[in-house]
Amino acid sequence: MLLLNPITFQPTEEQRIILDGITWQHYINLADMFVDTLPRLTYLEGKLEIIMTTSREHERLKKIIARLIETYAETKDIELNGYGNTTFRREAAARGAEPDECYCLGALGEVPDIAIEITLTSGGIDKLELYRGLGVREVWFWQNNQLSFQILQLETATYQQRDRSVLLPDLDPVLFVSYVNYSNQTQAVRAYRQALENS
């Protein structure tokens, strides 16, 4: 008897649905149904984005970027604590977000200081508007093999793009980015740590 291995579906890009006119309570009910599992839900003032799947590339980038940030903090003796992709909600601002990765400098707070977003496809909810209402101080976007930094300006409550982080001003983005596309993540982390120690 010939046994065939089942075909495994591997999505090559994110599959997302966007719904309008969703109440806060409907969002909360859906979010509670899917705690700690896909889909990922993002909510902004009545608009709900449901990400059904993420690609392997998305997950690879998320993981290596997190490992490199944590290596930087450890090497530079910076108190950095992470939440991963925890859900953050603020009903008064009608916002709910699940960053790809996020961190607080020092103790963990109600919202992260830094949110990381891997952007491989266009469209969807305006992430900066979402994070502005939550009060996230910096949003780092990985898009088109580049890292960009959006810094929340407290006086205007808007984000301004900068060449580097304000919260981690000594993090060299050019050096950091040079290790993201290594084929071996452990080797990338080792090489990055060595470069930091020698700088």
Instruction: Average the pLDDT over 7-34 and give the result.
Output: 72
Is residue 148 scored above 80 in pLDDT?
yes
Structure tokens at 68: 């490199």
Nearest CA-CA partner of 110 in 128, 129, 137: 137
Instruction: Identify each DSSP E strand in the chain by its residue range.
Output: 15-19, 40-44, 47-53, 80-82, 88-90, 95-97, 101-105, 114-118, 138-143, 146-153, 158-162
Instruction: Give the pLDDT confidence of 182-199 residue by residue, as tens digits.
Output: 989 999 999 999 999 998
Query: CATH assignment of 55-198, given 3.30.70, 3.40.50, 1.25.40, 3.90.1570?
Result: 3.90.1570
Stretch among 7-11, 30-34, 49-53, 76-80 having the lowest mean pLDDT: 7-11
pLDDT the model gives residue 45? 87
Radius of gyration over every alpha carbon of the chain, rounded to an integer in angstroms: 18
Neighbour order of strands in the sheet with 138-143: 80-82, 101-105, 114-118, 138-143, 146-153, 158-162
Q: Indicate the SS3 state at residue 17.
A: strand
* Confidence category of residue 13, pLDDT binned at 50, 70, 90: low
Instruction: Give the pLDDT confidence of 86-119 residue by residue, as tens digits.
Output: 778 888 778 788 899 999 999 998 999 999 999 8
Q: The whole model's pTM is what?
A: 0.82
Instruction: Give the pLDDT confidence of 46-95 residue by residue, as tens digits.
Output: 888 887 777 889 889 999 999 999 999 999 999 999 987 777 888 877 87
